[in-house]
Amino acid sequence: MDSHPTHTFPSGKTFEIKQGDITLAKTDAIVNAANKLLRHGGGVAGATVHRGGLAIEAESTMWVAEHGPITPSRPAYTTGGEMDCKYVIHVVGPVWGEGEEKDKLRWAIRGAFRMGEKLEIRSISFPAVSTGIYGFPADLAAEIFIDEIFSYCTANGVSSIEIIAMVLYDEEMYGRFTAKLQDRIETLGT
């Protein structure tokens, strides 16, 4: 397996960027870029149901019936179905042009971390939420994700989450996130 960019924090938490299919990630939870009604049509959401099975769709429908639509700061979770992950944390990311997009992406990332802590997971994988059909600029998303992950790992040294991965499907997105991580590491002087 090729090496991939990794950063270890003083707390021992690690952040890594990988290229691949998030539905194959071997972490306790994966994050799904969902819509507010958890209808899993295309993109990461469609792939999650395709790989994990219809149980994820059924659990999503039950979640919305019980808790209502999800928001950027209030995600949902289901089991991982037939995937290797135990949980899928469903976040709704912003649609570019709807207003407060940067804040909404930050809220979605923070919401996923809060849900992960509630579920007492050790590892979590994120896709590049909102950068597909929702049109969020990839470089800006990479910057926000790196900021939020660094903030989380610095402020939450004793949380259950020890390994955070970005799992990016295509080479271009992988390159953008890797460049932003390298920039951050150089800024830190490490």
Residue 76 pLDDT exceeds 60: yes
What band does 17 get if pLDDT is binned at 50, 70 and 90? very high
Query: What digits encode the pLDDT tens for the residues 98-113?
Result: 999 999 999 999 999 9
- Between 162 and 44, whose confidence is greater? 162
Domain extents for the chain?
6-181
* DSSP H helical ranges for 24-161: 43-52, 54-67, 101-118, 138-155
**pLDDT for 1:** 40
Tell me if the domain spanning 6-181 has CATH number 3.40.50.1820: no
Contact 62, 79 (CB under 8 A): no
